[in-house]
Amino acid sequence: MKTIQTIARAYQHICTGEEEPWVALGNFRNAWYGYAKDDRLALVKDPIPEPELHTKHTRNWGAFCAASVEFLCGCYSVPCPEWVHDPRYILTTPWWPEYASDLSTRRQLMQITPAPFLRRHIFCGNRLYQNKYEMSAWAQEARARGITNPGEIFRYARQKEISIHGG
């Protein structure tokens, strides 16, 4: 029986070093968008566990997990669990991607990062939760509507993506 990768389990794996953060979150994404999409609330309802050691690493990823849940719940009309609003998930030091060392890049990230991440001082941009599952379904939907031009199919799918995740 396959274990469902909840956000709590993903965070636990990040804290223990069992999985790299992007692998753990990727497994959670696969559950959210794929094999457990019919029970998304079950993926996020349980609070993330307290780490054994509180470090910058565990604080950053805890805030990132809370922001991810708030963002995804907002996009997909899933009731957002209260635990994500705990003030401990607000970073005191801004968290920028490694490539964002110059002011113009940081300004751009401040403009395009979704609000749940901004509120927690995580400046990550708006492409984190792109969804290959939905893009494929939207391309099929475009074809079912009689769209045959590959560029038009892509534009159709991209507009659907923007309507959910923003530009």
- For residue 57, the model assigns a pLDDT of 96
Q: What is the pLDDT of residue 91?
A: 97
Distance CA 154, CA 129 (A): 18
Residue 14 to residue 71: CA distance in whole angstroms? 20
Provide the residue ranges of all domains of the chain, joining segments of one domain with +.
Answer: 7-118, 132-165
- Residue by residue, DSSP assigns 99-165 as T--SHHHHHHHHHHS-HHHHTTTB---S-TT--HHHHHHHHHHHHHTT---HHHHHHHHHHHHHHHH
Query: What per-residue confidence (pLDDT) applies to 166?
Result: 63
pLDDT, position 165 = 63
Low-confidence stretches of the chain (pLDDT beneath 70): 1-2, 131-133, 164-167
Q: Which two tokens stand for residue 87?
A: 């003030």
pTM for this prediction? 0.83
pLDDT, position 85? 97
